Chains A and B, each alone.
Chain A
Amino acid sequence: MNSLVNNLANRFRTCPVTGLKVDKSAENLIKVNAVVAVVCLLIGAIAAIGLVFTRWQAFHILPADWYYRFLTLHGLNMLIFFIIFFEMAVLYFASTVVLSSRQPAPKLGWLAFGLMMVGMVMVNAMVLTGKADVLFTSYVPLKADPLYYLGIILFAVGALIVVSLFFASLVVAKREKTYTGSIPLVTFGGLTAAIIAVITLLHGAAIYIPTFLWSLGLIELDPGIYRLIFWGLGHCSQQINVAAMVSIWYLLAGLTVGGVVLNEKISRAAFVLYIGFISMASAHHLLVDPEFGPGWKIWNTSYAMYLAVLASMVHGFTVPAGIEIGQRLRGHTNGLFDWLRKAPWGDPGFSGMALSIVIFGFMGGITGVTLGTEQINMIAHNTMRIPGHFHVTVVGGTALAFMAVTYYVLPLIFQKRVSFWKLAKIQPYLFGGGIATMAVGMIFQGIFGVPRRHWDITFKNAPFNVEFHPSVEIFQAVMGIGGTIAAIGALAFIAIAVASVFFGKTITADDLKNGASGLPQGVLKLPPQVYSGANVAAVHEAGAKGTMVLVFIFLAAFVLYFFVNWKILSFIWKIG
Chain B
Amino acid sequence: MSQHDNEMHSAVVSPQGIWWKPANKQEMLWVKVAFAWCMVLFISMPFWHFKGGQNPTGVRGRTTPAAYNERATRFIEQYKVGEEKGIPVVAPPAGSEVYMIGRMWSWTPILKLKKDAEYMLHLSSLDLNHGFSLFPVNANFQVVPGYDYALKVVPNKSGEFKIICNEFCGIGHHLMVGKVIVED
A binds B: yes
Q: A452: shortest Cβ distance to chain B, in Å?
A: 7
User: Which residues of B sit under 8 angstroms from A182, Cβ to Cβ?
Assistant: 14-15, 19
A541 touches B55 (CB 8 A): no
B11 touches A261 (CB 8 A): yes
Q: A357: shortest Cβ distance to chain B, in Å?
A: 14
Query: With A287-B56, A294-B55 in contact, is A314–B179 under 8 Å at CB?
Result: no
Q: B101: shortest Cβ distance to chain A, in Å?
A: 15
Chain A interface category by residue count:
35 or more
CA distance A574 to B123 in the complex (A): 17
B179 touches A464 (CB 8 A): yes
B60 touches A291 (CB 8 A): yes
CA distance A259 to B26 in the complex (A): 17
B177 within 8 Å of A by Cβ? yes
A109 within 8 Å of B by Cβ? no
Query: Which of B12, B60, B148, B169 touches A98 (beta carbons < 8 Å)?
Result: B12
Closest residue to B134 on the A side, CB-wise?
Answer: A573
A530 within 8 Å of B by Cβ? yes
Closest residue to B33 on the A side, CB-wise?
Answer: A555
A251 touches B26 (CB 8 A): no
Stretch at the interface among A1-9, A339-347, A368-376, A497-505: A368-376
Closest residue to A302 on the B side, CB-wise?
Answer: B42
CA distance A541 to B1 in the complex (A): 6
B8 touches A540 (CB 8 A): yes
B66 within 8 Å of A by Cβ? no
Among A64, A189, A262, A451: residue with most chain B CB under 10 A: A451
A263 touches B11 (CB 8 A): no
Stretch at the interface among B73-81, B88-96, B153-161: B153-161
B174 touches A455 (CB 8 A): yes
User: Which residues of B sit under 8 angstroms from A519, Cβ to Cβ?
Assistant: none
CA distance A466 to B138 in the complex (A): 13
A306 touches B38 (CB 8 A): yes
Query: With A263-B23, A576-B58, A576-B151 in contact, is A294–B49 under 8 Å at CB?
Result: yes
Query: 8 Å CB contacts to A: which residues of B128-176?
Result: 128-129, 131, 133-142, 144-149, 151-156, 162, 164-171, 173-176
B60 touches A293 (CB 8 A): yes
A375 touches B54 (CB 8 A): yes
A454 touches B10 (CB 8 A): no
B9 touches A531 (CB 8 A): yes
Query: With A222-B146, A223-B144, A378-B140 in contact, is A530–B37 under 8 Å at CB?
Result: no
Among A307, A378, A533: residue with most chain B CB under 10 A: A378
User: Which residues of A sit under 8 angstroms from B171, Cβ to Cβ?
Assistant: 64-65, 68, 133
CA distance A532 to B5 in the complex (A): 9
Query: 8 Å CB contacts to A: which residues of B34-88?
Result: 34-35, 37-39, 41-42, 44-46, 48-49, 52-58, 60-61, 85, 87
CA distance A455 to B131 in the complex (A): 15
Query: With A378-B54, A449-B138, A574-B154 in contact, is A530–B8 under 8 Å at CB?
Result: yes
CA distance A408 to B21 in the complex (A): 31
B7 within 8 Å of A by Cβ? yes
CA distance A260 to B174 in the complex (A): 52
CA distance A463 to B127 in the complex (A): 20
Closest residue to A97 on the B side, CB-wise?
Answer: B12
CA distance A573 to B30 in the complex (A): 38
B27 within 8 Å of A by Cβ? yes
Query: Which of A378, A459, A559, A572 touches B177 (beta carbons < 8 Å)?
Result: A459
Query: 8 Å CB contacts to B: which residues of A359-382?
Result: 369, 373-375, 377-382
Query: 8 Å CB contacts to B: which residues of A298-332?
Result: 298, 302, 305-307, 309-310, 313-314, 317-318, 321-322, 325-326, 329
B42 touches A306 (CB 8 A): yes
User: Which residues of B sit under 8 angstroms from A142, Cβ to Cβ?
Assistant: 128-129, 168-170
B41 touches A309 (CB 8 A): yes
Query: With A223-B129, A298-B45, A310-B34 in contact, is A531–B7 under 8 Å at CB?
Result: yes
B142 touches A288 (CB 8 A): yes
Closest residue to A178 on the B side, CB-wise?
Answer: B14
Closest residue to B136 on the A side, CB-wise?
Answer: A449
A562 within 8 Å of B by Cβ? yes
CA distance A266 to B9 in the complex (A): 15
Query: 8 Å CB contacts to B: which residues of A509-542?
Result: 529-534, 536-537, 540-541
B167 touches A453 (CB 8 A): yes
B14 touches A382 (CB 8 A): no
A379 touches B138 (CB 8 A): yes
A566 within 8 Å of B by Cβ? yes
Closest residue to A266 on the B side, CB-wise?
Answer: B23
B166 touches A451 (CB 8 A): yes
Query: Which of A258, A325, A566 touches B44 (beta carbons < 8 Å)?
Result: A566
Q: B136: shortest Cβ distance to chain A, in Å?
A: 6
Stretch at the interface among A116-124, A425-433, A478-486, A543-551: A543-551
With A185-B11, A251-B11, A292-B60 known, 13 other A-B pairs at CB within 8 A are A139-B167, A222-B146, A224-B147, A306-B39, A313-B38, A314-B30, A375-B55, A451-B166, A532-B6, A536-B6, A541-B24, A555-B37, A559-B37
The 30 listed contacts between A and B (C-beta, < 8 Å) are A181-B14, A181-B16, A223-B129, A254-B12, A254-B13, A260-B8, A289-B147, A293-B57, A293-B60, A306-B38, A378-B139, A378-B141, A379-B140, A382-B133, A382-B142, A451-B131, A451-B133, A462-B176, A464-B162, A464-B177, A534-B6, A537-B2, A537-B6, A543-B25, A548-B26, A555-B34, A566-B52, A570-B53, A575-B55, A576-B151
Q: Give A residues with C-beta under 8 Å from B.
A: 18, 64-65, 68, 98, 133, 135, 139, 141-142, 179-186, 189, 222-224, 227, 247, 250-251, 253-255, 258-267, 286-294, 297-298, 302, 305-307, 309-310, 313-314, 317-318, 321-322, 325-326, 329, 369, 373-375, 377-383, 447-449, 451-457, 459, 461-466, 469, 529-534, 536-537, 540-541, 543-545, 548, 551, 555, 558-559, 562, 566, 569-570, 572-576
